[in-house]
Structure 1
């Protein structure tokens, strides 16, 4: 029952935070949509910000699974890195993901964002390291350094795509994906 209660609150949090944002979501909105009491929210999360932290963790976990699945389809480590980058740009265009990860979390939970960023960088570092060990990416620069730069590029590209008006959103996404492919391909260049 406790796990079901916790999950119901996380689902309600994702729905409300994703639709109207953290600031516009009241605790009454959250508990009413989950058919629970404020006491349940406080018991499981300590308050609204604790719930947001759990929602961020859940969104990050979902993204991680999807990125791993995209990478698993690739024939080689460099292809896996490319697939992860493309999938990241595509998956982070969901309006709820943009609202939760790129708008609410940084202002409400800066420590959670740092932790999430560190986790993303570790994941990219691992992917680059595999490509370096396979001889597909130059070892002139450490995998961890390349990962920091690539992560920053992906996050900013995702925000840039999402900021586009509806009529140029698709063009921006296509261009961002092409740029990500080019960057990863250049990592594989021996020049």
Structure 2
């Protein structure tokens, strides 16, 4: 009997995630056969079940991976901005633009909503907390009008999340992304504190 090392186990998991991400993006969750997916990965169904439980567990792990990458990208935008308002605004636009990326569009905004019911509670909570901290900072700096930050966060997060789905479902998503960006800018302008 061959003993597998921790590195082998991590490599198997990474291979399954990478293959699933590719196949789910190209074919969609429903049309993906576990036999074909594991064959493309050069692994067995047993490896898939060992690491992820089932196809749905594999989808959840792929979504978690994409969410982590998305969060890192958005955080980098905020951190490299000239000021917090520019960072917040750029971050919101980038989120809408990500709805045009094939893996995010197909896996996160279509299939995960249909199969998993949307983002995981942890992912959603993290996004809401991050956005609320940014909104609180903008209010403290006098950039945004003062209101209940939790309520405002919920409204803005919901607007962005639904707009991203709206973009992802369109045949011409780029046109919808531009429309959503313009509308969201109008929404944000109404929150600015005017001297």
Q: TM-score, normalised by structure 1?
A: 0.89
Question: Residue 82 of structure 1 contacts residue 180 of structure 1 at CA under 8 Å; is this kept in 2?
Answer: no
Give unmatched runs, 5+ long, in structure 2: 1-7
Q: How does 1:127-166 map to 2 (within 5 A)?
A: 127-140=134-147, 142-166=148-172
Structure 2 CA distance for aligned equivalents of residues 111 and 174 of structure 1: 24
Residue of structure 2 equivalent to 1:12: 19
Aligned partner of 1:35 among 29, 42, 45: 42
Tell me what 1:109 maps to.
Answer: 116
Other-structure match for 1:183: 187
- Contact 2:99 2:167 (8 Å CA) reproduced: no
CA RMSD of aligned residues (A): 1.9
Larger Rg: 2
Q: Tell me, yes or no, if the aligned pair for 1:59 and 1:97 is still in contact at 8 Å.
A: yes
Identify the residue that residue 57 of structure 1 maps to in structure 2: 64
The CA deviation at 1:37 is 0.8
Quote the Cα distance in structure 2 between the aligned partners of 1:143 and 1:181: 18
| Unmatched tracts of structure 1, length 5 or more | none
> TM-score, length-normalised on structure 2?
0.87
Alignment of 1:21-100 (within 5 A): 21-100=28-107
